[in-house]
């Protein structure tokens, strides 16, 4: 099982929701095909 699969399993288990870094959540969103749009500042928008 790779890193992505481990992250998804941890997220779906519901026991570690507050222990996710932004980069881990970003990896989970970008892997299945979401795109990331950055604006000014630190805001990010994920869309498909």
pLDDT at 47: 92
C-alpha 48/C-alpha 38 separation (Å) is 14
pLDDT digits (tens, 9 = 90+) for 3-43: 888 888 888 888 777 788 888 888 888 988 899 999 888 89
pLDDT at 15: 78
Q: Which residues contact 28 (CB under 8 A, 6 or more apart)?
A: 4, 7, 8, 11
């Amino acid at each position: 099982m790779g890193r992505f699969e481990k992250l998804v399993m941890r997220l779906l288990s519901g026991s570690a929701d507050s222990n996710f870094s932004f980069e881990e959540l970003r990896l989970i969103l970008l892997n299945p095909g979401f795109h990331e749009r950055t604006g000014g500042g630190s805001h990010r928008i994920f869309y498909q």
